[in-house]
Homo-oligomer: A and B are copies of this chain.
Amino acid sequence: MGPIVTLLSDFGTTDSYVAEMKAAILAFVRNAMLVDVTHEVPPQDVDRARLLLERYWQRFPPGTVHLVVVDPGVGTARRALAVECGHARLVGPDNGVLSPALSHREARAVELLPSARASATFHGRDILAPAAAALALGTPLAQLGRPVASPRLVTTPVPTPRPGGAMDGIVLTFDRFGNAVTNLTAGDDTGERTVEVASRVVPLRRTYADVAPGEPLALVGSSGLVEIAVRDGNAAHRLGLEQGMPVRLR
């Protein structure tokens, strides 16, 4: 029963890049269980990769290694990191993408030692994947490099409380269905609450079926965050939503 290694990248699925990374892992960990998260992060969209990682990294069994390769700075002086946090290990560039783990108090990070044999443009295959393999084999973090005191941290903006119990937040990202994920949280009481976005007032409901087809609604999504959706439709297009747009929960 091999160690689990998840892969997240912006390499797309039409080239051999992902397969080359997998081969680099399997060369060290012949029985690794490889799980693709997605390789369709928009090219160089570190923010999107960070928000995705936040959703899944703590859901996998203890010992899982998460390899994240969205790396616009490849070949520059940007550091490459290995991180340990609780029972999870992560590998990726030091560009903020690993913040969901690094922001935990107990997280420890090391800077991966550069390899003389690494290509200048494909550290995912030549540096990061071998480091993920080493962690999957149980190599202690300290053996992979020097401790890093202040890795790059990017955090999701925190909502702002407003008078009368309202909260101001923003649209963080969209999913495939056009649902807008915000940084707002809401408890189970969806009763009389509404969300204002793009000059509209949208009711907060428990599930899609609580409004008529084609109608907009807000709901607490599966990540625990408030999402803005259109039943059987695409909220991004229908409501003209954009990343960073302000939202207010009343």
The interface of chain A, by Cβ under 8 A from chain B, is: 1-2, 4, 6, 11-20, 22-24, 26-27, 30-31, 33-38, 40-41, 43-44, 52, 55-56, 59-61, 72-76, 119-122, 125-126, 175-177, 206-209, 219-222, 232
Contacts and interface: CB of A to CB of B under 8 A. Distances in A.
Contact of A31 (B1, B14, B26): B1
B2 A19 contact: no
Would you call the interface of chain A mostly helix, strand, loop, or mixed? Answer: loop
B35 A19 contact: yes
B30 A206 contact: no
A38 B11 contact: no
Count copies of this chain in the complex. Answer: 3
Contacts of A55: 16, 20
Given A12-B176, A119-B221, 19 more contacts: A1-B2, A11-B176, A14-B175, A15-B52, A15-B175, A16-B37, A18-B37, A19-B35, A19-B36, A19-B37, A19-B56, A26-B35, A26-B60, A27-B59, A44-B232, A120-B206, A120-B219, A120-B220, A122-B221
B4 A121 contact: no
A59 B119 CA distance: 15
A26 to B, nearest CB: 5
A121 B74 contact: no
Given A1-B30, A222-B121, A232-B72, A59 B20 contact: yes
Contacts of A24: 59
B20 A75 contact: no
B207 A61 contact: no
Nearest to A75: B207
Nearest to A234: B43
22 contacts: A13-B38, A13-B40, A15-B38, A15-B52, A15-B175, A15-B176, A16-B37, A16-B52, A17-B175, A19-B59, A20-B55, A20-B56, A23-B60, A27-B59, A43-B176, A44-B232, A75-B208, A75-B209, A76-B207, A119-B220, A121-B207, A122-B222
